[in-house]
Amino acid sequence: MRYFELSTPHYDAPRVWTGSYQADARWMLPGVECPTCGETWSGIALAYPSVDLSQHPMRTELETPRLEPFARYARLLEQVKPLLPPGAQVEPGTTFGPLVGTAEGTFGPLVLRDPWKLLVREDALDALRIAGLQGLVPVRAELTPSGAAIPTLHELELTARGRLFPLGPPPCATCGRVDAAMPEECRLEGASLPPDLDIFRLTDAVTLIVATERFVEVARGLGPLDVLFKELPVGGGG
């Protein structure tokens, strides 16, 4: 099986589609001040749009981005854990609930405004499903047109599976922060790659979205895209 990284064109490269959106999830875990590694930080990529906290007693505590001491963060995490998908990877800054905001312009089959967040136009989602691709967890984005009508877009909830090769330093035992920069040339650890997912993110590089050749083949048949696919070498067995 071949694997590909999804990325956006260079900022000054011409685009096929004009669509843009300004939207955020309703809830998020706070950033942390870690007593172990000494870092103050918050992630940007991990998102579970299917997790509805609208009836959760702590929902107001998760509506405003902020920093908290680790103990307070840990208490909030324990409160939301029962609602998360099995095996969900979580870090400070993890968001919950669908995207809510505004959008305008024309949107392609796949929308990758940020390299770590993938939206899919509804007709493209139907095609991906018909193709039998695995790991599709779509959640409709609540986007209000700020001009002409826009198509229905769904955010894909991406499971964190698979790792880079060779493995980097272990994460902080307390907050989970990985103290390593993304390598210029990424390589995947073959033994860690999921056999049951055609689209996912990596556990130790959560901003990187990986797709199988099956996904890429179907995606390229959907029409013009403002998404690039770069093949990733695989090492470490598998």
> 53-112: per-residue pLDDT in tens?
999 999 999 999 999 999 999 999 999 999 999 999 999 999 999 999 999 999 999 999
List the chain domain ranges: 3-10+161-235
> 152-161: per-residue pLDDT in tens?
999 999 999 9
Q: What is the DSSP string of the chain?
A: --EEEEEPPPTTS--S---EEEEEEEEEPPEEE-TTT--EE--SS-EETT---TT-TTGGGGSS--EEEHHHHHHHHHHHGGGSPTT----TT-EEEEEEEEEES---SEEEEETTEEEEEHHHHHHHHHTT-S---EEE-EEEESSS----EEEE---B---BSS--PPPPTTT-----PPPSS--EEGGGS-TT-SEEE-SS-TT-EEEEHHHHHHHHTSS--S-EEEEE-EES--
Question: pTM of the entire structure?
Answer: 0.95
- Per the prediction, the chain carries an average pLDDT of 95
